[in-house]
Amino acid sequence: MSRSAYRLGFQLTMALLLLLPFLFTGCKVGTREDVTSNSNTAKSSTSNNNTSFPAANPLLPIKTTHLTLTGKSSTVLTDARGFVLYYYTPDTLSKPACTGGCLKAWPPLLVDSQQKQISMTTLPGQFSVQKISAGNQVAYNGHLLYTYISDTHPGQVTGNGIYSWYAVTPDLK
């Protein structure tokens, strides 16, 4: 293999690695529906969902657990099964950045259209429900919540710090 062919192959590989995080993002606009942690009630609505995602939970308990994040013990939010919840820093409630293929790696935390209660431990923040193409997604303090497909058992936190994805802590602002 010539030196120029090797260099071209290396450059293409590096370009692909640099672009990979952006291949899974897109922008979709949704609407916000508030749920407060004080009242634990949620307004809900229906959605057209043609994509396969984990079934929405009819009663959504949000829990907390203690895990090690970046070398120190931290309290993180989990779903009913004990799987760590994540947020994506480019997301906003009006423009979710994780769409399409991104949602396969980072499934959204969904509630069904009949959701009336979000049961949880006492948390200082505010919950809301955001209507997205996949359904009604739960948000905490304005951050949409997701799980990570590579977390294969409860309490595992393999997605923290990957391409602007972080585990949700109660003090998230």
pLDDT of residue 48: 35
Compute how many other C-beta atoms are within 10 angstroms of the C-beta atom of residue 81. 11
Whether the CB-CB separation of 90 and 21 falls below 8 Å is answered with no
d(CA 167, CA 87): 7
Query: Once rounded to an integer, what is the mean pLDDT over residues 100-106?
Result: 95
d(CA 123, CA 127): 10
Query: Once rounded to an integer, what is the mean pLDDT over residues 73-83?
Result: 94
Compute how many other C-beta atoms are within 10 angstroms of the C-beta atom of residue 53. 16
pLDDT of residue 123: 81
Amino acid in position 123:
L
Cα Rg of the chain, angstroms: 18
pLDDT of residue 133: 81
pLDDT-above-70 percentage for the chain: 60
Residues 6+ apart with CB under 8 A from 125: 37, 140, 141, 170, 171, 172
| Closest to 27 measured CA to CA, from 119, 112, 133 | 133
Q: Where do we find the tokens 């955001």?
A: 130
96 vs 8, higher pLDDT: 96
Mean pLDDT for the chain overall? 73
Report phi then psi at 162, rounded to 5: -85, 115
